[in-house]
Structure formats: C-alpha cells, structure tokens
Structure 1
Amino acid sequence: MSTQAQEAREALGARLRGFRKDAGFMSGRALARALGWQESKVSRLENGKQNASEEDIRTWCAATGQEQHVEDLVAMVRHIDELWLEWRRQLQTGAEKRQSKALPVYAKTKVFRIWHPTLVWGTLQTPEYAAKTFEQVVAFYEIPNDTEAAVAKRLERQQYLYRGGRIFNVLLGEQALYTNFGGPEVMIGQLDRLLSAMRLPRLSLGLIPRSAVLSVWPGNSFSMFDDRLVLVETYSAEFSITQPREIELYAKAFASLKQSAVYGNSARDLIFTAMQHFERMPRD
C-alpha cells in the first residue's frame, strides 16, 4: 500500500481510538465485547492494519456516541478506497470500465513519464497485443469477458499521441520486447509498431538493456501524469499517489532509470534483434 494510503488509515484509526476512550471504553477488549466483535478487529482498525468498512464506521460511532462524525469518517474511508483499489473490485463488470477511466486523466495531462519493465505500455500496443493482455486479465481475475470493448477503449488513448502539446517520456525494459503475448506474429507486429512510434515527434522511447547497470532497482511499473498523479500496478491492486513528496520519489526513480536507457539507433537495434528472435520461432 502507498505511504499516503497507510497514513490515511492510521489517521482514521487514531480518531476511532479517541472516540473509544472518550466513551469510557478503556480497552479495545471492552469495545469489542460491546460490539460483538473479535478483539483483534478493534486493534487492527485502531492501528491502521485493516480497512474499515462504512458499516464498521457507523457501528463504532453509534457505540461511542459519535454519530455526528459518521459522514466525515465515511468520506475518509472512501478516500482510502480510492487510493488503493483492488483489481477484482475495479474489474468486476469487465475491463472496459477501467479503460474508460483513463481517458479523462490523459486529456488533462501535458507530460507523461511511463515505466514498464516487462511489457509494452498500453498506449503503444497493437490491437492484437492488447487483446492478448486482456484475455489474460479476464482469465486471471475471472471477470466478464469484454475483451473487444476493452481493446477499443484502450486504443482511444492513442489519439493523445497526435493531439495537443503533450510530451510522452516512455521507458521500457528490454524484457518488454520478449514477453510473449500471442506468439510470433503478434509480437512481430507489436515490435514493428514500436519502430513506427519512435518517429512520433512528441514521443521519447527509451529501452533499458537487460545487462545495463542500474542506479535504482526496477520495481513495479508506474505511470506519472504531470506532477499530480502516479498510478502503480501490482497483481492485487492499483494504487494512486497524489502526495507531493511521494511523487518526487517516483520522479527521482524515473530519472535514475532513464540514465540506464538507450535511445535512437541503439534502441532500434534492440527491437530489430527481438524481431529476429520471433522470426526464428516456429509458427503454429
């Protein structure tokens, strides 16, 4: 979880602890007994170790005589949820809705900083490559299969590569050229797309060779939108970072990674080598 989300949970827990003590429950055990909860739940909520549900907040405030604070605390819970969104919840109706949410963010952004160590960034994907990634998402999270609609929505982002004065700074690990989505034909098409994209005037595409010396560990992929938002993806969730001091860390990480990247002809050579690798692979 991001530092910002954890700090928000701890702040919420501190308020709940204050309510408990003000109500005369001198221990978490006493409140747990009154609520019919496990004592450990009270402790986890007060120490920011567990997400509180909106029902938890209403129950706690009713038991401690703090009903006037319910609306405020529910707003805090919802804010924490926005900072840390489980993929299963985001994707419960399929992948298209999540792809649609990205478009307003792209429309407002002037400078993009993108880092993907193991796959091609979504906005540079071909339809075939994108379809294979969504098919994996559908299978892994066991969500409704709306692959075609999700691909169409993802491809809408590409309009911003050609519109306005936006700047796209994209870093990919060399492994992204080899992570095989869909077999040789799909991968060759995707690599050819990267070669074409490199000619776009607003796009700076850097590749970090597998043997490059790094000054910072690769970490998770992340996307920076100006200096106001960073999105980080893990297997279980996506979290949003808006706190300036955390954003500064990601900007620093991006700058450090960029020092290890190659551009221009050196990057093209890496792509051509990857294409030759897939050209040698047997076709089904």
Structure 2
Amino acid sequence: MAVSSSSSVQAARQVLADRLREICRDAGLEGKQLAAACGWHPSKVSRIATAKTSPSADDILAWCQACGAEEQAQDLIASLRAVEGMWIDWRRMEQTGLKHAQEGRLPLFKRTRWFRCYSSWLMPGLLQTYGYTEDVLRAVQRRRVAIDDVADAVAARMDRQRVLYEGQKKFAFLIEESVLHNALGNADMQVEQLEHLLTVGTLPNVSLGVIPARTGRTRMPVEGFWIFDKSQVNVELVSGYLTLVQPSEVGAYADTFAMLADLALYGDKARGLIASAMASLR
C-alpha cells in the first residue's frame, strides 16, 4: 500500500499495528516466536508492529492464526481495507479506466448536503462543460491510463452534476483567477466554459468566489480540495487521491477555506473578472 504523510492515514495504520501487537502480547509470544510461527524474518514482525510496514490481508490472517486469535482476523482485515481506502494512488484507482473512478464518487456527492470546493488550477468538476471535461479527462488518459473510456467517463461526470439541482444542497466554490485563463482547448470552448460558469453562479444554492490575482495577498494558493459536510475532505495530489476524516485535519481545511474565502470577490465583482477573461479570448 502506498503510504501518505497524512496524519489521518498514519493514525489509522498505528491503531491497526497496536491491535496486532496486543494480540501477540495476549498470546504470550515474543516477536521472534511469532516470526518463526509465521515463517517470517523477525524484522517483518517489528516493522508491522511499529506501523512502519502495512500488513497484507494474508499477513493479518497468519498473525492471528499464530496467536490463536483467528476470530479477530476478519475484523482486522476490514480495518486494513479502511486504511487502504484513505490513500489511493492514481494507477490503482484508474486501473479499470476513468469511468469507474468517476462513478465511484457519486454516492458521496449524493449524500452530502454542504459542499465546499477550492481549486487553484482547474475548473471544479461540478462546474465543467462537456467540452472542458473531455479535454481534462483526455489529458489524464493520455498521461496515465491505458484504457480509453474517456467518452463514458465524461458522461459519468456530466451525470454527477445533477446534484447541483437535487434536494436542499448548498455549494460554495472558490477558484483562483488564473483558473479563468486556463489554456485548455480552443478559445470557443473556453468561452463556453466561462459562460456556463456565469450561469451556474446564479443558482440560489451556489456561492461562487473568484480570488483575484493581485499583489500583497496574505494567503498563497494551495492544493485543490473538496470538503463534504463537516466529515470528510478529499485532496487530489500528483501521486494519488487522499481522503481525510480526522476532525483536526478536516477542521484545518475548513479554516483554510474560510481564509481563502475572505480574499475572494463575489457577485458583480466576480462576474466582472469572468467577463474580462471572456473578452480576452474574443
């Protein structure tokens, strides 16, 4: 499993390691004895017990069998799966194509009532036009995905945008002004995207803020992130997809969103920046 530096992931891995160490202690076994029973080198037991190495499901099963605690194995394996779900590298997430990755996030979007999104380099997915999405996902497919299911993936993302119009949901989007000038596709496609942004920004349940590119700002751009209610943050990094659920980390991103929101322009001023970007394209 790829290891993230996130404290949420590390804390979960440590809890799993602590439970395995307790099982070994309750069985009255030393690390060398456990290693011999499992047919491992003693250093492997040490690495797992100190959360330096993440065990596999087979490792957990062997550990529990050696300690006479087979009944705990499935619960621990379930905990392992939960830890693995916190950090997923792109190759693993997209190994069956981009459509599956798009569809897999839909349930989370459907059950969330308060979305907050900050983007420093691309138009947020819920605000993208078909053409913009196609260009984004085509670039992703060419860079790292062997399967070409871009058309299906675009359709899945377009379908996900229905959450903007369903139920009593609230959306707050923050984008850097540079996003308005992102050189994706041709000028006509970019103008279409900006016109769509103006339209979605008028929805009563949508707050759209544009952070102007100006000197003297007090907060630098950070990685793009989504906040789902008050329970989860997702961050798209170069190497993978990070899910944060630890309250302190969710709170840190919420505080960052609030500070960035103070820098943004809204209403007529935001629309003025968007109109200026459109004029430069024409």
TM-score by structure 1 length?
Answer: 0.88
Q: Residue 112 of structure 1 aligns to a residue in which SS?
A: strand
Question: Is residue 2:20 matched to residue 1:7?
Answer: no
* Aligned: 1:158 with 2:161: yes
Match of 1:282 in 2: none
Q: Within 2, Cα distance between the matches of 1:198 and 1:213?
A: 27
Q: Which residue of 1 aligns with 2:185?
A: 182
Alignment of 1:261-276 (within 5 A): 261-276=264-279
What per-residue deviation string (whole Å, max 9, x for no partner) do you get for residues 39-60 of structure 1?
5543332222332211121122
Confirm or deny: 8 A CA contact 2:97 2:145 kept in the other structure. no
Q: Identity of aligned pairs, percent?
A: 38
SS across alignment from 1:169: strand
Q: 2:137 matched to 1:134?
A: yes
Shift of 1:30: 6.0
5+ unaligned residues in a row in structure 1: which ranges?
280-284
Deviation of 1:215 after TM superposition, in Å, equals 4.4
User: Residue 94 of structure 2 contacts residue 145 of structure 2 at CA under 8 Å; is this kept in 1?
Assistant: no
- Shift in alpha-carbon separation, 1:248–1:212, aligned structure 2, 3 A: farther
Aligned length: 278
| Residues in 1 aligned to 2:252 and 2:213: alpha-carbon distance in whole angstroms | 23
Secondary structure of residue in 1 paired with 2:123: coil
Consecutive unaligned residues of structure 2, counting only runs of 5 or more, are: none
Separation in 2 of the partners of 1:132 and 1:39?
51
Q: Secondary structure at the match of 1:115?
A: strand
CA RMSD of aligned residues (A): 2.3
CA distance in 1, matches of 2:222, 2:35: 40
Q: C-alpha distance in 1, partners of 2:95/2:236?
A: 17
Note the 1:9-88 alignment, pairs <5 A: 9-23=13-27, 25-27=29-31, 31-32=34-35, 35-37=38-40, 39-88=42-91
Secondary structure of the equivalent of 2:105?
helix
Match of 1:237 among 214, 236, 240: 240
1:122 to 109, 125, 142: 125
SS of 1:7 mapped into structure 2: helix
Given that residues 96 and 153 in structure 1 are in contact (C-alpha distance below 8 angstroms), is that contact kept between their aligned partners in structure 2? yes
4+ residue runs of structure 1 moved beyond 6 angstroms? none
Q: What is the TM-score when the length of structure 2 is the normalising length?
A: 0.88
User: Could you tell which deviates more after superposition, 109-118 or 18-27?
Assistant: 18-27
